[in-house]
Amino acid sequence: MRTGPVETVSAEDRDNSRLGGGAVAAPGVLVILGASGDLTKRLLMPALYNLVCDGLLPEACAVIGMARRSLDTTAFREQQRQDIQRFHTRRDFDADRWAWLESRLHYTAGDFSDPEAYARLRDLVLAVGGDCGAAGNTLLYLAISPEFFQTVNGLLDGAGFTRLPGRRKIIVEKPFGKDLPSAVALNRSLLTHWREDEIYRIDHYLGKETVQNLLAFRMANGIFAPLWNAAHIDHIQISATETVGVETRGEYYDKTGVVRDMLQNHLMQMLAYVCMELPVSLHPSAVRDEKSRLLRSVRLLDPTAVARDCVRGQYGAGTKADGAVVSGYRQEPNVDPNSNTPTYAAIKLHLDNDRWAGMPVYLRSGKSLWKRGTEIVVQFRPQAGDGGEPNVLIFHIQPFQGVEIRIQAKRPGPAFDLQRAGMRFDYAETFEATRGTGYEVLLYSAFNGDPTLFSRTDFVEAGWRIVQPVLDLWNETRADDFPNYMAGTWGPLAAHALLARDDRRWHECITREVLLRSEFFSHAPAVLLNNLTLACQPRAVKAGATVVERGEQSSDLYVVCRGELEALDEDGRRLGGVKEGECFGEMALLDNRPRNATVRAVSPCDLLVLAATDFRRIVEDFPEAEAQFRRIAERRR
């Protein structure tokens, strides 16, 4: 579930666009157990309000909140009216639409362990459902801590909710267990009271348009189908990197860690969509069968494979891109000062099926990294013979939303020179992109009884089975190098080594803004910057490593994204420092001269390397910019 420190939704994060077409949802009564918590005010109510604004909720619907807090319906409505002002996501607030929804809100106070409370709730559900004409479709949303699931489900069953007339759904949020045995136990307990088709497990990644688009992309664009296998694809990378640390969630996170928090669920969902066999239809079971089948084909790691193919990290103090100094993980509130909990993980997996045999998939996720971005990179095999750059297909999940293909194009001019270029589909340019909460489509699907976007028992357990060996080994062995990456960097160096060992590298999706931090690029036109970002390659170096040697005849340019380096003369005397946002090597780049200083990393550094050949080729088309580069370089020298 997404709960952050956000205290209100900012004006620029609001828009009025529609969620898109669709029929009005089926009538129903949504019961939120734990309605006084964060989830209701931050996500559920704004999502319901968005559905109302887009005309997607039926006249016959109602929402009943239940929590310990002793409120009545009037006070609950008043509370929600105040909260929606802070958390709605639309540019203009439509008081009439809200009034429509507010008049359908009801509340009953009750302790979750009190059977009487559930009897009262049942009577209210029947009465409200009868009044508004929505009886027969009851959605029970457990917005409560999983430790209460067993009790609450037992008491719901005891009060007759499992036998209510019509259709019933129980909606649960992650975490679905803390490991494989506890997930199996939780599922068994849920299944004691509910049928599988009544259980709706939410993974909010499936509420993202760009994640749903993975399936659409594959099903509806046949040109990729013949290429979608290990014969044509070299490897796949799935990255979900965050700039935020654990913030106020230290207590939860320290027991959880990145593998349970992100890999077991969100990354598994993306892996399944990208790699599964295409379902024979869009029927929920057809889609969910294929997703589970794919996860079951993941080769399980033994301890040797975990030690070899999995990298863990924990952030130490550092600075963010905006210059803000942030504390290390162990200094965060409610985190053990000796914590062994990973905040970063990179793992290499293999899929043992005909389609993907022999092709690795690399997954990584982490907190407090240099950039927020979820991307899936499909790297094709290089074309035989010409030694050219391989094609890359990138699904940009967030914050940029789109799909991009990196190709080679002939540069304009008499010579037959190739240059890397990008073909981009941008959601914002093509659609009236909506910025809902991500919960709209999930609630809408639940009203309609469509479980496609919810996780089934077998999928959840298959996900746990994959990560369990990693959890076991990392739990049994302490990471004595923690913290091993500084907040605001690209993560531990070992994650880069993991791919370098296979002669591969992580694709860092670089934006113009990264280059613009350096004065050297500050004047460059947007088209030129776009071309340069495509040419940059990431390189991570250890503290103490020499990046260029004085006198050496190399002429690549380096941009410092993170860390600090120093320039040394022939006697090893310090000439000066090179800091984040700066670059070095401009003179060698422009004039092809030998290096006039040695440059050594003072701290671990994340660098972008711009090959001189690429730079010269790209800049050739921008003579004015080239002259300006030279002026800046001369001045800096």
List of residues contacting ligand BG6 (CB under 6 A): 1-2, 242, 261, 374
- Measured CA to CA, the distance from residue 284 to residue 513 in angstroms comes to 41
Q: Is 523 a catalytic residue?
A: no
Burial class (CB in 10 A: 0-12, 13-18, 19+), 604: buried
Per-residue tokens: 95: 């008081």
Q: Are 524 and 625 in contact (CB under 8 A)?
A: yes
Give me the amino acid identity at 374: T
- Measured CA to CA, the distance from residue 605 to residue 601 in angstroms comes to 7
Q: Are 525 and 515 in contact (CB under 8 A)?
A: no
Provide the 8-state DSSP code for 559.
E
Q: Where are the beta strands (DSSP E) in 521-597?
A: 537-541, 546-548, 557-562, 565-568, 574-578, 583-584
Q: Work out how close the CB of 248 gets to ligand BG6 at its nearest, in angstroms, rounded to a whole number.
A: 11
Q: Are 109 and 88 in contact (CB under 8 A)?
A: no
Q: Work out how close the CB of 528 gets to ligand BG6 at its nearest, in angstroms, rounded to a whole number.
A: 32
Give me the amino acid identity at 391: N
Phi, psi of 566 (to 5 degrees): -130, 150
Q: Work out how close the CB of 244 gets to ligand BG6 at its nearest, in angstroms, rounded to a whole number.
A: 6
Provide the 8-state DSSP code for 381.
P
Radius of gyration of the chain (CA): 27
Query: How many CA atoms does the CB half-sphere of 605 hold within 13 Å?
Result: 29
- Dmax (CA) of the chain: 88
* C-beta closer to ligand BG6: residue 3 or 408: 3
* C-beta closer to ligand BG6: residue 1 or 602: 1
- Measured CA to CA, the distance from residue 82 to residue 343 in angstroms comes to 35
- The crossing angle, in degrees rounded to 10, of helices 95-102 and 45-53 is 120
* C-beta closer to ligand BG6: residue 439 or 615: 439
Strand pairing report for 373-380 and 233-241: antiparallel
How far, rounded to the nearest angstrom, does the alpha carbon of residue 342 sit from its chain's CA centroid?
A: 17
Q: Work out how close the CB of 565 gets to ligand BG6 at its nearest, in angstroms, rounded to a whole number.
A: 32
* C-beta closer to ligand BG6: residue 242 or 556: 242
Provide the 8-state DSSP code for 144.
S
Q: Are 41 and 7 in contact (CB under 8 A)?
A: no
* C-beta closer to ligand BG6: residue 264 or 531: 264
* C-beta closer to ligand BG6: residue 490 or 520: 490
Closest-CB residue for ligand BG6?
261
* C-beta closer to ligand BG6: residue 79 or 265: 265
* C-beta closer to ligand BG6: residue 242 or 440: 242
* C-beta closer to ligand BG6: residue 374 or 598: 374
Catalytic residue, chosen from 266, 350, 396, 496, is 266
In angstroms, the Cα distances linking 102 to 99, 199, 434, 443 are: 5, 27, 23, 17
Q: Work out how close the CB of 261 gets to ligand BG6 at its nearest, in angstroms, rounded to a whole number.
A: 5
Q: Work out how close the CB of 372 gets to ligand BG6 at its nearest, in angstroms, rounded to a whole number.
A: 8
* C-beta closer to ligand BG6: residue 302 or 336: 336
Burial class (CB in 10 A: 0-12, 13-18, 19+), 118: buried
Q: Work out how close the CB of 205 gets to ligand BG6 at its nearest, in angstroms, rounded to a whole number.
A: 7
Give the bridge partners for 364, in sequence order.
239, 346
- Measured CA to CA, the distance from residue 308 to residue 303 in angstroms comes to 9
Q: Work out how close the CB of 188 gets to ligand BG6 at its nearest, in angstroms, rounded to a whole number.
A: 24
Burial class (CB in 10 A: 0-12, 13-18, 19+), 51: buried
Q: Work out how close the CB of 419 gets to ligand BG6 at its nearest, in angstroms, rounded to a whole number.
A: 33
Residues 351, 357, 360: CA angle, nearest 5 degrees: 60
Cβ neighbours of 4 (radius 10 Å): 11
- Measured CA to CA, the distance from residue 391 to residue 381 in angstroms comes to 7
Q: Work out how close the CB of 147 gets to ligand BG6 at its nearest, in angstroms, rounded to a whole number.
A: 17
With CA atoms as reference, report the closest residue to 164 among 206, 198, 204, 215: 198
Sign of CA dihedral 465, 469, 470, 472: positive
With CA atoms as reference, report the closest residue to 564 among 553, 574, 554: 574
Q: Work out how close the CB of 438 gets to ligand BG6 at its nearest, in angstroms, rounded to a whole number.
A: 7
* C-beta closer to ligand BG6: residue 395 or 615: 395
| Residues designated catalytic | 266
